[in-house]
Amino acid sequence: MTTVTFAQAVNAALADAIEADESVLVFGEDVGPLGGVFRVTDGLTAKYGEQRCFDTPLAESGIVGMAVGMAMNGLRPVVEMQFDAFAYPAFEQIASHVAKMRNRTRGALTLPMVIRVPYAGGIGGVEHHSDSSEAYYAHTPGLTVVAPATPSDAYSLLREAVDSPDPVVFLEPKRLYWSKEEVTLPVRTAPFGTAAVRRAGQDATLVAYGPAVPVALEAAQAAAAEGWSLEVVDLRTIVPFDEATVFASVRKTGRAVVVAEAQGFASVSSEIAARIGERCFHSLEAPVRRVTGLDIPYPPPKLEHHHLPSVDRVLDAVATLQWEDA
């Protein structure tokens, strides 16, 4: 086993996908010789040539539109949006064509393509560089939405995304690019639609995904010092959503807190909380709580720590769950 960063795991997954299938192409803004803003595609052009990994003009709608045409004609494009909010000019393509092609053609045409989105905050980025945009994609039927939190999942889920016959939005938490894990690549973890219990507990369940997972784990560690046993569930994929694992955990603990960086209103966290409330009502000992970003545009870098979920905010939410024996 070796120490692998999240960025290295994504890079290795892309390289292995290119090696395994000649129809796989990687392209986007500055992903070629530069290796991308975060150097995630570093070395791919040098090793595989500009026919397999290449730069495009600064036109996200054009990037995705070109990928649609390629996917319709037998290729497997993997495109990068560079930053989360940069993808919005391409959203019309994603919502109107990428997500609907299989349904529109009654299954005659599939779009085996991956849209990689470096997303979320925590790196001192400014507005348009730190959005948590997962709700837009999760709300759009026809898209698989993936949000890994570990290098091993980043590798495995990206390989699965490239192999998928349907379009995948692959959300890469920017603040986790430099996180590390002892792992031997290649590795295959659980498939799409399978959540992971990252920490077992008895008193309450913390449900998180992507960049919120390390926060939830740190909060659970801190809570242990106060005598609280918190279970941490990492969704891994937002769509499909693993109800079975989440509900089993909540029914065991009787309490739940959903942790996510995105704004709380009309969010993925809203949907998770609603489903837990509907399906686990008779098991709940307290209302489902949420710890999310504030309902504001992303703040300046010096203020982002007020906006993002923190260990203290998670612990405050846990404290409101009111243990009968407290």
Q: What is the pLDDT of residue 245?
A: 98
Residue 185 CA to chain centroid, in angstroms?
A: 20
Residue 90 DSSP one-character state: G
CATH 3.50.50.60 for the 196-319 domain, yes or no: no
Which sequence spans correspond to the domains of the chain? 2-183, 196-319
Q: If you average pLDDT over every residue of the chain, what do you get? A: 96
DSSP 8-class letter at 174 = G
Q: Quick one: the chain helix, strand, coil %, rounded to 5?
A: 40, 20, 40
The number of helices, as runs of H, and strands, as runs of E, in the chain is 12, 14
Q: Do domains 2-183 and 196-319 have the same CATH topology?
A: yes
Q: 249-293, pLDDT tens digit by residue?
A: 999 999 999 999 999 999 999 999 999 999 999 999 999 999 999
Give the length of the chain: 326
Tokens 């993808």 sit on residue: 87
pTM (predicted TM-score): 0.96
Residue 323 has pLDDT above 70, yes or no: no
The per-residue pLDDT for range 144-175, each reduced to its tens digit, is: 999 999 999 999 999 999 999 999 999 999 99
Span 2-183 CATH architecture: 3-Layer(aba) Sandwich (3.40)
- Please confirm, yes or no, whether 307 is among the known catalytic residues: no
pLDDT score of 326: 45
Catalytic residue among 129, 282, 305, 306: 129
Question: Percent of the chain at pLDDT above 90?
Answer: 97
Distances (CA, A) of 30 to 40, 42, 135, 176, 261: 11, 10, 27, 20, 27
Alpha carbon of residue 265 to chain centroid: 19
**Amino acid of residue 69:** G
Tokens of 261: 């960086």
| Strand, coil or helix: 315 | helix
Mean pLDDT of 38-50: 98
Q: What's the alpha-carbon Rg for the chain, to the nearest Å? A: 20
